[in-house]
């Protein structure tokens, strides 16, 4: 999920389902494999997640802190239940330490998390132990008070549009739901056209204009973040393991330049995974947790990519 600074938060995607879905299959307009141009790009290993592995969590940054919210943890072998978590942790990129902050009020996973004007917003999610069910209940977090507030009913996702595992952005374009953080309400659905290629879940994205060249390696459950007008995409999963690594997980890092409308391939992830999020602090992209095999496979890995 990805967040830009504005008061309008857009949730793209259909009603939630817990499955992988490929991104659209259009050809990229240009793709270059220019590893040599990115010699300065690198991965850094950071202190792993205290309190256990996590996936299907959400990630956002407030100031210089990176937050990891809810999700599910590693299950016993052959487990069929994956209880949702309330756990929220924050990593200070300054002191390089993790701390636990106030739990989100209800257990959830695949939440739409966004940071706007110094606050975190949870705008709809999935909940339960599996199968996961959508809920439109929404919350706001005040880091100064270390407190969550349940938004009034008008702030919950409108009936019929409740979902999780969407992509979050802000600005103004394209089954898109739009929440206004200033009025605390959702805008009427009319006037927000559905996604052109149909619904999908486990997407990652950013609002960058009207159109985008299709990504070179279609994948769901990926992480995405924007730095300097470029959208970086990391990893993802594929139920069929087609094109993915042996565990059904992609290692691919691909970046979309919003100015040139071109994709470029970057060096692979140091630890390929899916099912988490990415947040940017000072031009570095932080990726806590995530699963190292398709479906369930939560890890405590925490690393950062410097473009």
Ligand X SMILES: *[C@@H]1O[C@H](CO)[C@@H](O)[C@H](O)[C@H]1NC(C)=O
Cβ nearer to ligand X, comparing 237 with 264: 237
- Report which of 193, 158, 160, 162 is spatially closest to residue 175, judged by C-alpha positions: 193
User: 35 — phi, psi (to 5°)?
Assistant: -55, -35
191 lies in the binding site for ligand X (CB under 6 A): no
Nearest distance, CB of residue 205 and ligand X, angstroms: 17
Question: Residue 175, interface with ligand X (CB under 6 A)?
Answer: yes
Q: Compare residues 53 and 277 and give the one whose CB is closer to ligand X.
A: 53
- Residue 24 as a binder of ligand X (CB under 6 A): the answer is no
Question: Binding to ligand X by residue 125, rule CB under 6 A?
Answer: no
| Least distance in angstroms from the C-beta of 126 to ligand X | 13
Kindly report the CA angle at 176 between 296 and 251, in degrees rounded to 5? 35
Of all helices (H) and strands (E), which one includes residue 169? strand 167-170
**Phi and psi torsions of 260, nearest 5°:** -95, -10
Near ligand X by CB under 6 A, which window of 102-110, 144-152, 204-212, 291-299? 291-299
> With the C-alpha atoms ordered 235, 240, 243, 245, is the resulting torsion angle positive or negative?
positive
Q: Which of 77, 188, 196, 283 is in the footprint of ligand X by CB under 6 A? A: 77
Closer CB to ligand X, 158 or 184, in the complex: 158
**Is residue 80 near ligand X by the rule CB under 6 A?**
no
| Minimum separation from the CB atom of position 177 to ligand X (A) | 6
Strand partners, 225: 232
- Cα–Cα distance measured from residue 291 to residue 299, given in angstroms and rounded to the nearest whole number: 6
For the bound state, the minimum distance from the C-beta of residue 175 to ligand X, rounded and expressed in Å, comes to 3
Kindly tell me which residue out of 89, 238, 292, 294 binds ligand X, with binding defined by CB under 6 A: 292
- Closest approach of ligand X to the CB of residue 225, in Å: 23
Q: How far apart are CA 222 and CA 287, in angstroms?
A: 11
Q: Exactly one of 78, 80, 182, 211 binds ligand X (CB under 6 A); which one?
A: 78
| Residues paired with residue 184 on neighbouring β-strands, in sequence order | none
Burial code of 58-83, b = ≥16 C-beta within 10 A, e = fewer? Answer: bbbbbeebbbbbbbbbbbeeeeeebe
> Can you give the length of the chain in residues?
307
* For ligand X, the closer CB: 112 or 230: 112
**Minimum CB distance to ligand X smaller for 20 or for 292:** 292
- Shortest-Cβ-distance residue relative to ligand X: 175
Q: Which is nearer to ligand X, 43 or 284 (CB)?
A: 43
Q: How far apart are CA 11 and CA 1, in angstroms?
A: 10
3-state helix, strand, coil in the chain (%, to 5): 0, 35, 60
Among 144, 160, 188, 191, which residue interacts with ligand X (rule: CB under 6 A)?
Answer: 160
Of the candidate residues 14, 52, 171, 184, the single one contacting ligand X (CB under 6 A): 14
Query: Which residues sit at the interface with ligand X, rule CB under 6 A?
Result: 14-15, 53, 77-78, 160-161, 163, 175, 194, 247, 292, 297, 299
């Amino acid at each position: 999920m990805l967040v830009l600074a504005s008061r309008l938060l857009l949730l793209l995607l259909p009603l939630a389902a817990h499955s992988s879905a490929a991104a659209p299959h259009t050809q990229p307009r240009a793709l270059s494999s220019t590893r040599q141009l990115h010699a300065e790009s690198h991965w850094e290993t950071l202190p792993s997640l205290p309190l256990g592995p996590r996936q299907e969590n959400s990630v956002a940054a407030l100031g210089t802190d990176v937050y990891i919210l809810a999700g599910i943890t590693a299950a016993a072998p052959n487990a069929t239940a994956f209880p949702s978590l309330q756990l929220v942790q924050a990593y200070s990129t300054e002191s390089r330490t993790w701390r636990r902050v106030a739990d989100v009020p209800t257990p959830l996973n695949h939440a739409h998390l966004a940071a706007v004007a110094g606050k975190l917003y949870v705008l709809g999610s999935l909940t339960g132990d599996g199968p996961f069910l959508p809920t439109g209940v929404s919350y706001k977090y005040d880091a100064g008070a270390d407190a969550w507030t349940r938004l009034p009913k008008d702030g919950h996702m409108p009936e019929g549009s409740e979902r999780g595992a969407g992509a979050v952005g802000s600005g103004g374009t394209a089954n898109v739901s739009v929440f206004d953080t200033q009025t605390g309400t959702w805008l009427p659905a009319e006037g927000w056209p559905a996604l052109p290629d149909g619904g999908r879940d486990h997407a990652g994205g950013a609002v960058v204009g009207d159109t985008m060249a299709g990504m070179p390696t279609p994948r769901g459950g990926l992480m995405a973040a924007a730095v300097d007008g470029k959208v970086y995409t990391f990893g993802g999963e594929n139920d069929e393991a087609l094109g993915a690594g042996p565990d059904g997980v992609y290692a691919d890092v691909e970046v979309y330049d919003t100015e040139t409308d071109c994709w470029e391939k970057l060096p692979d992830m140091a630890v390929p995974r899916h099912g988490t999020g990415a947040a940017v602090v000072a031009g570095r992209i932080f990726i806590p947790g995530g699963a190292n095999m398709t479906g369930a496979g939560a890890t405590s890995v925490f690393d950062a990519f410097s473009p």
